[in-house]
Amino acid sequence: MSKNRDLINVTNDQAFEQLKALLLSDDWKNFSEIRDQVESLAKEVHDKDQLIEMLDPIIADLLDRKIHESRSEMAEALAPIMGDAIKRQIEDAKEDMVDALYPIIGRMVTKAINEAMKKLIEEINSRIQQAANTRFMIFVKSKVFKIQPAEVVLADGVLFCLEELFLIEKKSGLLIGYQSQNNDQSEKNAHILGGMLTAIRQFVNDAFAKDEKSNLIEIQHEDHNIRIDTARYTVLAAVYRGISPHDFQDNLHGLHHRIHNRYYRRLRDFKGETSEFQGVSPVMKRLFQKYRHHGSNNK
């Protein structure tokens, strides 16, 4: 009996399995596939490297699209982070940064200097063309010393040419004394030039000077320069071309100091009477005599 029951049971189980297989075989296959997938996904999510590999192309695409859509917003958002990151990088690896930048900056500086030198040499060569009477001497010297004509000019300071001197009352800008290299009619303009120079000087001092003592020293315009020496009551301005000799500033200051000392009282009480300063011009003339041999166009 029990054997029979067993038999029945067995056949029942078999039948059930058979039925199951018959009914669910497709689902079963799907299920095991899904289980495999879930397992591998779980593994991928837990494994950082694999996760990155998986998301990488998506995020890249997403970023790409976002950046295209709102470039400026992205830049705004990233700028502080990038800034910090770069700052930290530089802090951490100063030496490395210097090593990396050195060749680039070095090249830039060299290029700038080369260009400036080239311009200077060109300028000098064109001056030599103009100054026909000094040309012969330069030619001789360059042959004797076996150097380029331009270098002779540099060495001689021929480039320098003192053109005008203005002695100006500091507050009013009124002209007290004037000398020019070639006593031409440029004196006609000297009063206005003195006034405008004073206005510009006051403008610069007012706009940029940090303290009362600082003063505008030099104005450059193309190849003209104006060197300004300031004393208590007056300003002495020298208009020149080219590169000033090393002692020029000192000599200008010395001249100004002498005039200022000699005329101190009259300057203090100055009311526009320039006739009291007729002795100033000959003194100013001496500076021109001193630098006469520097000028390329003293005929």
Partner 1 sequence: MAQIINKKICLLGEYGAGKTSMIRRFVFDLFSDDYITTIGVKVTEKVLPPIERENKLQQFRFMIWDIAGSEEGKIKHENYWMGASGALIVTDLCRPKTFSCTSSLIEKFLALNNNPPIVIVGNKTDLIPLTELNSLETTLQEMAHTYRCPALLTSAKTGQQVEESFIRLAQCMME
Q: Applying CB under 8 A, does 281 fall inside the site for partner 1?
A: no
Render 254-293 in DSSP notation, one character per residue.
HHHHHHHHHTHHHHHT-SS-GGGGTTHHHHHHHHHHHTGG
User: Exactly one of 138, 150, 152, 175 binds partner 1 (CB under 8 A); which one?
Assistant: 175
User: In whole angstroms, how close is the CB of 189 to partner 1 at the nearest point?
Assistant: 6
Which residue number, 28 or 203, has a Cβ lying nearer to partner 1? 203
User: Exactly one of 275, 278, 289, 299 binds partner 1 (CB under 8 A); which one?
Assistant: 275
Which residue number, 202 or 251, has a Cβ lying nearer to partner 1? 202
User: In whole angstroms, how close is the CB of 278 to partner 1 at the nearest point?
Assistant: 12
* Terminal C-alpha separation, the chain: 149
Q: Applying CB under 8 A, does 216 fall inside the site for partner 1?
A: no
Give the binding-site size for partner 1 (rule: CB under 8 A): 24
Is residue 291 within 8 Å of 263, Cβ to Cβ?
no
User: In whole angstroms, how close is the CB of 274 to partner 1 at the nearest point?
Assistant: 6
Is residue 149 within 8 Å of 142, Cβ to Cβ?
yes
Query: Largest Cα–Cα distance in the chain?
Result: 155
Distances 249 to 131, 168, 258, 298 between C-alpha atoms, Å: 25, 18, 14, 21
Sheet-wide strand order for 175-180: 175-180, 161-169, 234-241, 224-230, 218-221
Left, alpha or beta for 98 (phi > 0: left; psi -120 to 50: alpha)? alpha
User: Exactly one of 169, 178, 284, 288 binds partner 1 (CB under 8 A); which one?
Assistant: 169
Determine the residue type at 42.
Answer: A
User: Exactly one of 29, 111, 118, 171 binds partner 1 (CB under 8 A); which one?
Assistant: 171
Which residue number, 95 or 206, has a Cβ lying nearer to partner 1? 206
> Based on C-alpha coordinates, what's the Rg of the chain?
44
Which residue number, 169 or 229, has a Cβ lying nearer to partner 1? 169
Q: What is the DSSP-derived secondary structure letter of residue 212?
A: T
User: In whole angstroms, how close is the CB of 158 to partner 1 at the nearest point?
Assistant: 30
Distance, CA of 150 to CA of 297 (rounded, Å): 16
Q: Applying CB under 8 A, does 174 fall inside the site for partner 1?
A: yes
Distance, CA of 283 to CA of 6 (rounded, Å): 142
Over the window 121 to 140, marking each residue x when it contacts partner 1 by CB under 8 A and - when it does not, the resulting string is --------------------
Over the window 176 to 215, marking each residue x when it contacts partner 1 by CB under 8 A and - when it does not, the resulting string is -------------x-xxx-xx-xxx-xx--x---------
Binding site for partner 1 (CB under 8 A): 169-175, 189, 191-193, 195-196, 198-200, 202-203, 206, 271-275
